[in-house]
Structures are given as structure tokens and as C-alpha cells.
Amino acid sequence: MISKEMERNIKANGGIREAFNEARRQKTLYGEENVFDLSIGNPSAPAPRKVVDVIKKLSENVNLDHQYMCESGYEEVRSKIAGWMNQKYKTSYGINNIIMTNGVAGGLNMVLRALLNPGDEVLVFRPYYPAYIGFAENWNGKIIEVDPGEDFQPDFEDLEGKITKRTKVVIVNSPHNPTGVIYTKETATKISEILKSKQKEYGHAICLLSDEPYRDLVYIEEELPWWPDFYQNTIVSYSFSKSLSLAGERIGYLTIPTEFEDSENVIKAVRLAMGRLGFVNAPALFQRIVGECIDEQVDLEYYAKNREILYGTLKQCGYECIEPKGAFYIFVKAPDNNEERFLELARKRHLIFVGGSSFGYSGYVRLSFCCKYEVLQRAADALKQLADDCKIISISTIYKYR
């Protein structure tokens, strides 16, 4: 019954779904507290107090308007967001530059719907958020993978070589899922130089689509590059899923600058896509809530503590991984590049990870640290045992043999 394309998608999505099912199976068998599900990116930090207060206040207002609205969202909310961004990024956005969306997933689909002709190419940097494949295929786009260079910054030569006359969109994601890497200023400069030169060569605009659900989850002092400062044809897709722990409420926004090529038509097409996709408009209540909570964010310390214990444990055990600077993931190299065996041994210790193959990058696994701190505390012993199972020279092993 189902289409060939969805059949392929079900298979490609296997890793995350498999991990989820395995965690559920093990919890039933061994008890919730004995299973360490580090597979999913579902935020567990509580939403800020103000969010709860605003929900309460609005839900008690019997005259609250629940009607359909303009597909871009409430003007007063977009105006607040524009004002807030103008202060933060020294931009000059008006309400027309902001479109409220159903999270980043909704935003990315709307942009791809608006821009892609069948066969147009969408470049993504390996490892990448696996949903990009489905999002591009929804609109008959073709995913082209770009390899990583050192420390999971992009390989610029590969990027340059993979841009063709069919390249329409390049998706960047920083802070990055699944590595926690932040693209440096040098990376932003280099990417924008390449895109500018390729635009000239092919004589048409290339959209840089910045996927930013983790923009506010940063654990270092360094400032994140703001992509529109580097490259004029940038659309930013933001979401409150992680920054306010509202993932299930589906709320975010797109910014399309006036300087973006043919911006008037692009904005019209993206707005139209909201209806064509069947979203109609972003959730009314949560538009109002984020409008009132624009200065709020979840307690970053909640995830910073998780990052410290998980990264500390991994390094102590001798695992190979780089320190995540943002988001809530660590990408760990599988011993001997054997992802399947590593996942299997981990499962035996009730540790549930997602294989790097799901992110287009085999030989690694992703560990998520958006769970409760206690889970990571309890997981520490299992991670040490797993290091011994894999014959990784862990500090505990060194001590044992002394």
C-alpha cells in the first residue's frame, strides 16, 4: 500500500526507531531505572517558570481568541520577535521578515516547498540530522552529502566540488546534532565565500538554510556566528523546542531578510507553503506564549551538568570523542570503527545509543545527554564496563593492572 519512497524512508529511519523500541523493550524487562536510554533528543529540562505562568494566565482568559489567522502568525508576536532580533543581531527586521512555524521541522519544509523544483539539489554536511533526507524528498529535492573535515567542521574542498548548477539550498546546523560542534567564524566565512563565488559562476541564488533549534544551548563563551552577517541569501529557522523545552507544542519561526534575493516572492511562497502543507498557521496559544517569553530560556546549567558528567566519564574510560560545545549530544567513535558491534555490546549493558549510520556517518554512535542527571550518574558504571568489554584502555583498567 505505501509508496516506494516511504518504504525507503522507513528503512533509513531505522536506527533511531530501533533504539527507541529497544529502550522500551529493556525497560519492561529490567525496570526503568536499570536502562540508560541515551538515544533520543527529547528535552527533559523543565520549561521556565514564566512559561508556566503565562500558560496559566492565558488559559484562564475566557475571551481569548482561538480563530484562524494570517498564515505568518500574529502580528504582535512577530513584531516582538523582530524587535528582539534587531536588538540582538543589529538587524532591521519588520513583521514581514518573520513567519511563525510549527517548529524547525515545519519551517524547513516550508522553505524547501517554496524553493525547490524537482531534481534541485540540497547539500547537507555529514553527519547530519536524518530528517533532512525526507524533508528534501517531500519536495522532489535531491540530497547531496558533503564530507566533514577536521573536528567535524566541513571539508571546504568537498563543498566546493559538490555545488553544481542544480544546487538550490545548503543546510547548516550549528550547534550541531549529532556532534555538539559549533561552526567557527572561519567556517562561516569560508562557506559564505564559496557560496558567493558559486552564485556568480552559475548566475543564480543559492539559499543557505540555517537550522538552529540549539542556538541557545551553548556551553562556551565564544559567540555563535550569525549567518546573515556572513551571507545575504540566508534563511534562519529557529524553534523553541529546546530553548523553552516546548518540543511537543511545535512552535518556532523563520527569518527571511529583505536583502534575500527576490525576498518579496520568497516570503509570499513560504507563507503559501504554510497552507499547502496543511499547517494553516502555527499554534495560536503557543505563539502568544513565546511572544511573552522571548527573553526566557531553560536553565542551561541543567544540561551543562549533564555534559560534564557524560563527557568526563567517556574521557576517563578512554572513549574517543570531541567535547560538545553546544546542543546535547556527544558523538563517540566506535572501537575499530565497528558501530554494529559497539551498539550490540552497549545494549547488553543496557546502554541505548543511536548508530552514526543514521546520520550518514558510520563508525560512530550518538549519545544524548538531555535526560535526567540521575540517569547519567547511574550510566557511568555501565559505560566503564562497556569500555572494558570493548577493550578500550580505561583509567579504571589501568588502575586495575597497577
- Residues making contact with ligand PLP (CB under 6 A): 41, 103-105, 129, 173, 177, 211, 213, 239, 241, 247, 252
Residue 96: how many other CB atoms lie within 10 Å: 17
Cβ closest to ligand PLP, residue 71 vs residue 211: 211
Residues 6+ apart with CB under 8 A from 296: 48, 50, 51, 244
Residue among 286 and 335 whose Cβ is closer to ligand PLP: 286
Q: Is 340 exposed, middle or buried (0-12, 13-18, 19+ CB in 10 A)?
A: exposed
Question: Closest separation between CB of residue 105 and ligand PLP, Å?
Answer: 3
Bridge partners for 145 per DSSP: 124
Closer residue to ligand PLP in complex, CB, 41/141: 41
CB 108 to ligand PLP: min, Å: 7
CA distance 250 to 132: 17
Cα–Cα distances (Å) from 395 to 68, 235, 308, 320, in that order, read 60, 46, 17, 13
CB of 264 to ligand PLP, least distance (A): 26
Beta pairing, strands 36-37 & 351-352: parallel
The single residue listed with the C-alpha cell 524533508 is 135
CB of 348 to ligand PLP, least distance (A): 27
Q: Which is nearer to ligand PLP, 129 or 361 (CB)?
A: 129
Report the candidate in 215, 246, 331 with the shortest Cα–Cα distance to residue 44.
246
- Closest contact distance (angstroms) between CB of 392 and ligand PLP is 28
Q: Which residue lies nearer to ligand PLP by CB, 41 or 324?
A: 41
Give the nearest distance from C-beta 338 to ligand PLP in angstroms: 26
In the bound state with ligand PLP, the residue whose beta carbon lies nearer, of 104 and 354, is 104
Strand 207-212 vs strand 142-146: parallel, antiparallel, or unpaired? unpaired
Beta bridge partners of 212: 238
